Amino acid sequence: AAGVIQSPRHLIKEKRETATLKCYPIPRHDTVYWYQQGPGQDPQFLISFYEKMQSDKGSIPDRFSAQQFSDYHSELNMSSLELGDSALYFCASSKLGLAYNEQFFGPGTRLTVL
């Protein structure tokens, strides 16, 4: 079965640079979630989109922005990178339905800021 695809899998950037992370949800899924997992930390919710509109916002820094495109893929744009942004970034997708919309997670993008 198709899974959530994230690219790139690994990314190394310098401080103050920008980074773009991409997420391709499972086909026919309409909702995308972004989470950040710092070293030794629990995943923290950043932001989510439903049908290309922002549906919820968590602890996402102002330096970060995200959007969901017409093909439902999503991109997380990170500017003025700081050392503390080094983390594993997960994307999850789900399909809104009558029952709870289970989230399926991608393998993550590991961002290292030097």
**Residue 97, both tokens:** 């339905």
Do residues 96 and 42 make contact, with C-beta atoms less than 8 angstroms apart?
Answer: no
Cβ atoms within 10 Å of 36's Cβ, excluding its own:
22
Query: Is 105 near another protein (CB under 8 A)?
Result: yes
- Site size with another protein, rule: CB under 8 A: 26
Which segment (11-19, 50-58, 63-71, 75-83) binds another protein by CB under 8 A?
A: 50-58
- Contact between 13 and 19 under an 8 Å Cβ cutoff? The reply is yes
Q: Which one of 35, 66, 74, 78 is in contact with another protein (CB under 8 A)? A: 35
Q: CB-wise, 9 or 16, nearer to another protein? A: 9
